[in-house]
Amino acid sequence: MPEKLKLLSWRDILTVALPSLLLLIGAFWLAAQFVKPAPPDSLVIGTGGEGGAYQSFAARYRDVLERYGIKLVEKPSAGSTENLARLRDPNFAIDVAFIQGGTARPMADDSLYTLGDIYHEPLWIFYRESVLRGADKLLDLKGKRIAVGGPGSGTNHLATALLAANEIDDKNARLVQIGGMAVLERFEKGEIDAAFVVGPTQSSLVWSLLYTPGIRLMSLAHAEAYTRRLPYLAHLVLPRGAIDLTQEIPTQDTHLVSPMATLLVREETHPALIDLLMQAAAEVHGEAGAFQRPREFPRSGHSDFPLSREAERYYKSGKPFLQRYLPFWAATLIDRMVVMIVPLLAVLVPLFKFAPMIYGWRVRSRIYRRYGELKFLENQVGENPAAHSRAEWLGRLEVIERDASRIRTPLTFSDMLYTLRAHIDLVREAILRKTQA
């Protein structure tokens, strides 16, 4: 092995290796610019008021994400409008938030993406039966005390829009800005006549009001008309007895309007966490319900916000391929490494092909240089052998021979070196033949 190493030219090796190494480092650095960092071990989600549906669903999300080692951090809020403001505030730490359909419009500088529709979020209009017996139109609420949801909530936004469509405002009705379980308390104290509540059937407030004596659910006679005026609303029918067959709740088919609930994420939210959110949403919202078939949600929907790339991929092909067979941490690690390996291979493959060729060219060039000197000497001897004495001609030839013997040549190129030495001997014979002693 030491003898073989002596045959190598370290200068040639470094001349080829150093540029190759620099090229490899450059490719590695360039690939690293496109690699997302490892996913964080926590995700911050904006929910809603205490005891609301958003908090309830977030608790179920938390159970799903914990299976993958991700901690879900909740940020309670007044509701959809406040959640949107937080997502747009670069100084507020939040990754994703529940948003009620129709409460958000994209802005020019937004970097927010939707994960699609995740469930129907019906509007429930409850009224005191003793005050509004048989009411089926919002016009019936004129002059009454109406709970329209807390400031900054999606309920407040939708209630205000629907009342305005019926020319009802704080000049001809008393609009009470409260939401959550405080609505039930106000009904019990006789301080309100009607209330707007937005949420799924499982909402604790909706459930409580449906079973409260003296409180009735309004069936909107103009439900279909509202969906034409406000395109983000859908017309839903709650069948008679769908909530409770034994107590027959509701007592008749009830017409409701409903926006869609969605999740909005920031552009910088880690893609792997979005993949997990999609899986959690499918598990939590994919169940059958009063207004949906099994696995109807989540779905891509028709939000004004662009659909996240990860959500779009999920709707097309489901769970990411690697996560079907590997733990979450291993799948994300491989996914990140692939982004680096592909460009590195694009550099390494041609590098391994051309580096030996460049090294071989450098070794041959030194041998060819001696051939050039030898040919030049031979031509001089042939044209004018008397220009120098035999000793002088042989001295010049010995210089070439001495230089040739010092060339470090790998075994692969040794045949060229021996051929050079044989040709030096031929020129020596020509000198001896053409010159005098």
- Residue 272 near residue 70, CB atoms below 8 Å: no
Q: What is the reported pLDDT for 4?
A: 43
The pTM of this model reads 0.69
Which residues have a Cβ under 8 Å from the Cβ of 10 and sit 6 or more positions away?
Answer: none
Provide the 10 A C-beta neighbour count for residue 393.
22
- Residues across the chain: 437
Q: Which of 169-178, 274-283, 341-350 has the lowest mean pLDDT?
A: 341-350
Q: Give residue-wise pLDDT tens across range 151-189.
A: 988 999 999 999 999 999 999 999 999 998 999 999 999
* Cα gap 118→54, rounded to integer Å: 12
List of domains in the chain: 2-28+340-434 (no CATH), 37-118+262-320 (3.40.190.10), 122-258 (3.40.190.10)
Q: Give residue-wise pLDDT tens across range 135-158.
A: 999 999 999 999 999 998 899 999
Residue 1 has pLDDT above 50, yes or no: no
- Residue 200 near residue 121, CB atoms below 8 Å: yes
Q: What is the reported pLDDT for 6?
A: 44
Q: What is the reported pLDDT for 350?
A: 72
**Mean pLDDT, the chain, as a whole number?**
86
Please report which confidence band the pLDDT of residue 7 belongs to, taking 50, 70 and 90 as the band edges.
Answer: very low
Q: Which of 2-16, 93-107, 358-372 has the lowest mean pLDDT?
A: 2-16
Please report which confidence band the pLDDT of residue 50 belongs to, taking 50, 70 and 90 as the band edges.
Answer: confident
Please report which confidence band the pLDDT of residue 5 belongs to, taking 50, 70 and 90 as the band edges.
Answer: very low
Dihedral sign (CA 313, 316, 321, 327): positive
